[in-house]
Structure 1
């Protein structure tokens, strides 16, 4: 499987033990005091994270589908990677909402494209990381490789504070959420032809909570059915196999988390080109002024 993986699968990433919280405090020290949560993500300028190579962007768009399916094969065939994915997306009973967990370093960069006005400052300051996407004229972080100082300068150059430092887990959820939500061209937005108050951090967090609630409800129902039976082991206790099989898994936690974030971005690029189902959420149309 390793030979089948594209550059997206050789990125730097890491993850955690399923029996512990997603990123233990003693192993993932936070970078800076101003952690970013979806309810208050305005402290990004003071929290300079360590940029790591999360993807190589030399692959053409024609290879995006192959990249995604290679990653999908990795996730399905690797129990530890599957564990990481479930922890991030709320499918594990021991998962912690990444937007409420301030123990992981904010070393990945994310552009809130709903707030972006297409000023191109970030793309001019740090072109290795940022670029203006052609469909909507907004900035996007196409790569997680770059000099931290240069990236921070790009963050500080933004006039509307739409660039945020996030953890790898948060970035994976945010990229997935951005894939679902429709946008309008920045020129139309600035002319008043389409706008809405959209908080992608909140939307991603709420979606995570809903998934987690469903998982917990299924676990509760399973426990009720097993009550009174001869089985004493809860159905999820051996979900990932014996602990001895993954004694080195914790060392790979952050590496696999970054890989999941890179895969989410690749899937976003692939799906936005019409290969996936259309977005389910659209911005309201402009209301004509009939006076």
Structure 2
């Protein structure tokens, strides 16, 4: 009887490692290899709306200060917010120009006062190319990318993604399971939105994969997948790229800062890259997502090694 659960664990181990891992740090790379440190974070518009910081008026400033002072070479921020007329929320300046970083902003919305909502990539290294992935259906969700030129002359393509939201709040799930009647009424609505999200993300991830397959450079994808590791969306990306949590994480790696235990934020990277370190910063709780922090090495391509020999 004891062998049966053990057999199931062995047979489905590839699925288990998507939810729970026990990795140990790899050996240090050669000193000449180029290291790149990365921060990926859904910042929840820096808690700029009053209802998001009613219990802590200093929450927006504390989050902004933490992000602006983070030492990562590359920052990929989802649910980004910028208002050039407001000194506190002039985030392009606070995170970018004042810190010597170049940036690319993908604007999903500009409100009536000119404030911008969307995605952002900040880089300590020069951005030599930038753009966005075009989806085949109207949406405010985005995937943007930049090519950054590293000091050793390598180029890395960095994608920042925020795929279609589940559009479901925790309180809705709690209400739906209160009674059979509530499940029948609210459950249908939740199921309908889940289905819509699954379909939208399946189209979006296909466009993303088509785009990254054309990349002439190693690829790093950061962001809010809005889907779990057993989903179609995750599996499609995993077919082409390695996942940072699976390769370097430890424990369960939940990234959603709420009651639901979810890992919906990810970093995927080309197999030609080496992951040195990956952490989910669960002690940083400014947003409803935890930040992801990592360090990579761009390994030498076979043709480069042949030239040196």
> What TM-score does the superposition give when structure 1 sets the normalisation length?
0.24
Query: Which structure shows the higher strand fraction?
Result: 2
Query: Which structure shows the higher helix fraction?
Result: 1
